[in-house]
Amino acid sequence: MKIRFSAPVALWMTAAAVWAAPTIANLPANNFTPVTASAGVRVTAYTGVPPAVTLYYGTTDGGTDTVSWAGSVSLGTVRFSATGNMTGLTPGTAYFYRTYATHSTGNAWAEGTGTFTTPVVSAPVVMTREASGIGLNAATVNYEVTSTGNEAPAVTLYYGPADGGSNAAAWAGKVSTGAVAGRGATALSGLTANTVYYYRAQASNSAGTVWAPASASFTHHGHPERGGHRRRQCLPADHLLLGLH
């Protein structure tokens, strides 16, 4: 048996399909740090102008109730896809997120809630490397942060004519840097000639402070090596006239 719809009913069904609310889907979370993460939305269908999308997140699943979510990020008007940054997160904590679209034809949540866990901060690892650029009264000492512990540490380079080991107060001098990930170098100046200098790197992040496993050293010489340039001999003026007539 065939069912036929009258013209008004068919037109109403066509209009309802054309003016349906948008449909969206969550994009996977990524770019994790102990206190931030990114997530986003993919808009799969809409009518007319693109919908405005908000990313909701928190440590509990707020479902389809906007006020039940602890945080939110506006992703703006989204035609295809967009991502946003979730900030102020707690390290080592499970989070939920879900996107929500608003439109003149109706509002819609993404189907289902996404989850992720922020990484934990651990103590960094730093190594002292060989010195370079040893000059008249200066040198460059090198170090490397081989593990940031998920949070780039601040590095302090301790140095002096005596090895202070892992006792900061026992070192004659120090130079502090900002956050470092990977290799770094610190210039030392005002050094004393013909003196052995020791140095050791220390790294600190929110999980703790650590020293490089051992100190390194270099010998500072007061004079650079002379090149093999031949000196010009200056003769008195009367010598220049010998042999001339």
> For residue 48, what pLDDT is reported?
93
Full pLDDT tens readout for the chain, 245 residues: 444 434 443 333 344 456 789 999 999 999 999 999 999 999 999 999 999 999 999 999 999 999 999 999 999 999 999 999 999 999 999 999 999 999 999 999 999 999 999 999 999 999 999 999 998 789 999 999 999 999 999 999 999 999 999 999 999 999 999 899 999 999 999 999 889 999 999 999 999 999 999 999 998 765 544 443 333 333 333 333 333 33
Of 96, 89, 197, give the one whose Cα is nearest residue 139.
197
> For residue 217, what pLDDT is reported?
95
> For residue 244, what pLDDT is reported?
35
> For residue 135, what pLDDT is reported?
83
> For residue 220, what pLDDT is reported?
73
What span, in angstroms and rounded, lies between the C-alpha atoms of 27 and 14? 31
Would you give the end-to-end CA distance of the chain in angstroms?
Answer: 137
> For residue 222, what pLDDT is reported?
59
Strands (DSSP E) found in the chain: 23-30, 37-45, 52-58, 71-77, 81-86, 94-102, 108-109, 114-117, 125-132, 138-147, 154-160, 173-179, 182-189, 195-205, 208-211, 216-220
> Residue 181 in contact with residue 123, Cβ under 8 Å?
no
* CA-CA-CA-CA dihedral for 7, 8, 9, 14, to nearest 10: 90
Q: What are phi and psi of 237, to 5 degrees?
A: -65, -35
> For residue 223, what pLDDT is reported?
53
Domain architecture of the chain: domains with CATH: 7-117 (2.60.40.10), 125-220 (2.60.40.10)
Adjacent-strand bridge partners of 98: 56
